[in-house]
Amino acid sequence: MTKIGNGVPDEIPELMALPIVSRPLFPGFYKAVVLHDVRHIEAIKELVKRGHPYVGVFLNREASPTTEAIMHDDEIYHNGVLAQITSIFPQSDIKDTNHKEGLTIVLYPHRRIQVEKVVVAKDEVNEPVTGADSSEVTSFDVIQEGEYATEEAPMAFLRNKVTMVHVVNRPDDPVDKSEPTIRAVVSEIVSLLKEISAMNPLFRDQITAFTLSLASGNVFDEPVRLSDFAAAVSAGDSVELQELIDTQDIGERLKKGLVLLKKELMNAKLQAKINKDVESKLQKRQREYYLMEQMRGIRRELGLESDGKDKLVEKFKERAEKLSMPTAAQRVFDEELNKLMNLEPSASEFNVTRNYLDWITQIPWGLKSTENYSIKHATEVLENDHYGLKDVKDRILEFIAVGKLRGNVDGKILCFVGPPGVGKTSIGKSIARALNRQFQRFSVGGLTDVAEIKGHRRTYVGALPGRIIQSLKKCQTENPLILIDEVDKIGRGHQGDPASALLELLDPEQNHSFLDHYMDIPVDLSKVLFVCTANMTDTIPRPLLDRMEVIQVSGYIAEEKKAIAGKYLAPQAREQSGLKDVDIDLTPEAIDILIKSYCAESGVRNLKQQIEKVYRKAAFEIVKDLKEDPSAAELNLLTEEGKANADSPEKSSSEVLRVPYKVPSTVHVNVNPENLHNYVGPPIYVFDKLYDTEPPVGVVTGLAWTALGGDVMMIESVLEAPLSPSATASFKRTGMLGDVLKESTVIAYTFAKMYIASRFPENRFFDHARIHLHCPEGAVPKDGPSAGVTISTSLLSLALNRAIDPTIAMTGEITVTGRIRRIGGLREKCVAAKRDGAKTIFFPKANMADWEALPENVREGLEGVPCVYYEDVFSRCFKEIAREEGNKVWLPTLGQVKEEDKNAPRAPGSGLGDLFPPLGGGVNEIHA
């Protein structure tokens, strides 16, 4: 680097013009400028070499000029500074972005100057200047080649190379330092400089250098330098700074410098605020990052967390070592693990493979829970969890006994079928607890997507295994008990048939290699004990039902409901209502009324809800009648921890812990039949029997089975008016009857006419009677093949004008020849008959095994009459009627008929005369 002397001539009329951009130079403050123009670089070097290192520096009017040369005098501001070149850097030290050589020079401005004329070299003019007026000609000339420097013009050698300017000095106007305005402005500038320096360290260094450069050491004695310093260190735009160069008056110059410093202070304050906000956020993030890294380090040391692909692979390997994967699963695991090791974490396939490996290592390959085949333990569990259900409990104990002898209970699919609320799901839980197996339940009611059972293919986004694999993952054993609820309500949609997907799952011959779409490897489900529940078997697909062992879970009779309410439901509801230590008495008589008038269904779910309603109402009445002081109560109910939370502002949103309120011992509540309606409202079932007294002719009590249990179905037959012997016979039926029941009415009507014709040849009732058969509760749909016997009896009761004993109930389907066929749901029907007050029940003899299997408490008080032919029913219901009476009993009903009508021959029969001998023959004789 070349050092240059500091002698400055007082007058330099001709100077090389050096344009700069962005901001002008101010006297007394150094500035570094980078040059790229070759002519300017050569000129600067020549000036330094000749010992005349002075140039005129002027601000270019354009913010981004296309060239460093001055092509016209209005391209630059005419007020600039005389600057001395104090230092230059060699060409090899700097290059611009286009790899052109450049030169950096350090300038020191000495004084203000003003341009009088701009002289441009010929080779710097793109086009000759034409059309210029006289003023332009005097201020802008083109120098021709051949003109050289003289002693009077030391820079004349540059005229044919670079732009030259003729300048004059612009001395500063005199200033009175003691003038109040000047002193006030100077004082304000100094104050602003101090305030800015406190915010900006770089500003502080510049002020220190400026203060040291003052000869007097007092800024108040140098207002000219102070105004230039304010402009030099501020970040004003080029126009504002140029105005400060143009201003001659020192007072005005100081004021403009003050404005620039005010803006600088505002920028400094804004920058300080931004820096403070950013620093605060950065500190918070750095603190969180530091703490998170510490926590990760601690978790890694404890083995709770690992990061990185290698750690992930190691985790999967550790899981696989604890499992006993079959060969097929182990091979797939190795392939997927190798794939994961070769994938980048950012790849989309990486997460798919990682999730698959996570699932395959979460399946409990070879992990089993130790089963308990103790009959005593199982008996205790079943007795503690359930009341009654003796046949179900016996079947479960048999199931466990076989497992004890074989060592396992594989290959069995149990299906509990019964009305709602009888405890089918809870039985499954009890079996799991008795066998010491993990329990998992999921419902397939309304399920329409096969993927819910068999999983999704891994090609889909968000694919998951089916519910069976998910259940294995949750249970973490190969031999859990999985309860599949509501299999009779499974749906079928456009995504496939889930019932068909269950075939593979529930087939003991196939489920040892169950194939899930997501896992795509065989999974052994033969060790899983599947238990299904359903309300009925009619809607279960036959292939699926064939794979299950159906166990009927019938409803409860009133005595069983009463025992369940006293042993299980009432204590649970009492504790849940907060009345465990309160003297409240729900009398057995009130429970009887609840069962009889509010909860007539087969299950106990509604009974549980009604009992809970009683205790909730009682709790409300107790709290309402206490009339305690709210403030004192609130104070007494808070625990110490609750008080601490309530007093702490940091935990003001936390839940205030409370202790149960202690009800005084003087409080006593008695719920009896007299006040029960105050707790549960009016009775839902206002009567049990349709007829309180002996029913009229043509009314017979039938029995029906529904999904909710057994029910009583009355059959009524009446004669339509007018009752005339000349009326045409007709038969119609009402009562929302289904197709099967309609067929039963036609069969029963045909059979009754033939039976009367065979037994009582002179009885012409059906030849003239207009009969209307009705099943009450017409809005309730009714269907089923078990009402033929009841309908036939109703029609015969009308034809023989003989009322049927109201304590007799019957069920069974009849053929046109009088044969009584087997029916289903005998237990539920017997429960309904007993609830209705029946004492005798007629049922098909083919159901004798079902009758003998009934519990003693159900059969107690009931006489069962098995029947093969309708004659068995007729001989008990119409045993006192004689032939003569039967032949004539219809005449008072329809009135006298013509003699020829009485003796008119009957239509050809169907051979029933041989089947039904004249009255007087016994049942055994008929059947023989």
At a CB cut-off of 8 Å and minimum separation 6, what does 314 contact? 306
Burial of 259 (0-12, 13-18, 19+ CB in 10 A): middle
Copy the structure tokens of residue 877. 């219901």
β-pair type (840-844, 54-59): unpaired
Is residue 829 flagged as an active site residue?
yes
The pLDDT, as a whole number, for residue 790 is: 93
302 domain residue, yes or no = no
* 399 and 530 in a common domain: yes
399 domain residue, yes or no = yes
The pLDDT, as a whole number, for residue 653 is: 46
Copy the structure tokens of residue 622. 């107790």
* 326 and 400 in a common domain: no
Residue 856 is part of which domain span? 699-896
Q: Look up residue 420 and give its amino acid.
A: P
Copy the structure tokens of residue 656. 């205030």
d(CA 497, CA 491) in angstroms, rounded, equals 7
d(CA 253, CA 26) in angstroms, rounded, equals 12
d(CA 751, CA 814) in angstroms, rounded, equals 9
From 554, 786, 792, 794, the catalytic residue: 786
* 880 and 826 in a common domain: yes
136 domain residue, yes or no = no
750 domain residue, yes or no = yes
At a CB cut-off of 8 Å and minimum separation 6, what does 548 contact? 413, 414, 415, 506, 532
- Angle of CA points 325, 329, 332, to nearest 5°: 135
The pLDDT, as a whole number, for residue 100 is: 59
Closest by CA position to 559, among listed 590, 595, 586, 611: 595
- Are 676 and 593 contacting, i.e. CB atoms less than 8 angstroms apart? yes
* 709 and 589 in a common domain: no
Annotated binding site for ATP: 418-425
- Angle of CA points 904, 909, 913, to nearest 5°: 105
Please indicate, yes or no, whether the overall pTM of this predicted structure exceeds 0.95: no
Closest by CA position to 925, among listed 847, 846, 869, 845: 869
Provide DSSP, 679-698: HH-S-S---S-S-SS---TT
Beta strands in 596-708, from DSSP E residues, in sequence order? 668-671, 699-706
d(CA 61, CA 128) in angstroms, rounded, equals 22
How many separate domains does the chain show? 5
**Domain boundary residue among 552, 581, 610?**
552
649 domain residue, yes or no = no
- Angle of CA points 473, 467, 309, to nearest 5°: 45
* 404 and 337 in a common domain: no
776 domain residue, yes or no = yes
Report the 10 Å Cβ neighbour count for 160. Answer: 17
Closest by CA position to 409, among listed 326, 480, 474, 477: 480
- Are 544 and 487 contacting, i.e. CB atoms less than 8 angstroms apart? yes
Q: Tens digit of pLDDT for each residue in 644-687?
A: 555 554 444 445 556 777 888 788 888 888 888 888 888 876 55
CB hemisphere CA count around 834 (13 angstroms): 24
**Domain boundary residue among 552, 569, 588?**
552
At a CB cut-off of 8 Å and minimum separation 6, what does 645 contact? 651, 652, 654, 655, 656, 657
The pLDDT, as a whole number, for residue 272 is: 81
* 525 and 449 in a common domain: yes
The DSSP 8-state label assigned to residue 782 in this structure reads B
d(CA 683, CA 483) in angstroms, rounded, equals 36
From 256, 561, 829, 834, the catalytic residue: 829
Q: What 3-state class would DSSP assign to 196?
A: helix
Annotated binding site: 418-425
* 731 and 669 in a common domain: no
920 domain residue, yes or no = no
d(CA 854, CA 830) in angstroms, rounded, equals 9
CB hemisphere CA count around 496 (13 angstroms): 13
d(CA 529, CA 542) in angstroms, rounded, equals 21
CATH at 581: 1.10.8.60
At a CB cut-off of 8 Å and minimum separation 6, what does 679 contact? 613, 614, 617, 618, 671
Cα end-to-end span (Å), the chain:
142
* 315 and 410 in a common domain: no
Copy the structure tokens of residue 273. 């605020």
Q: What 3-state class would DSSP assign to 920?
A: coil
* Residue 823 backbone zone (phi > 0: left; psi -120 to 50: alpha; other: beta): beta
* 388 and 349 in a common domain: no
* 570 and 439 in a common domain: no
CATH at 71: 2.30.130.40
Q: Which whole-number Å values give the CA distances from 772 to 699, 791, 794, in the listed order?
A: 12, 12, 11
* 860 and 721 in a common domain: yes
Helix or strand (DSSP H, E) at 773: strand 770-774
Provide DSSP, 396-411: HHHHHHHHHHHS--TT
d(CA 636, CA 648) in angstroms, rounded, equals 18
181 domain residue, yes or no = no
Rg (the chain; Cα; Å): 55
d(CA 34, CA 539) in angstroms, rounded, equals 94
Q: What 3-state class would DSSP assign to 699?
A: strand
d(CA 570, CA 586) in angstroms, rounded, equals 8
Residues of the chain with pLDDT under 50: 1-5, 93, 125-150, 629, 631-639, 641, 649-654, 688, 896-900, 902-928
Is residue 786 flagged as an active site residue?
yes
* 24 and 109 in a common domain: yes
Report the 10 Å Cβ neighbour count for 654. Answer: 13
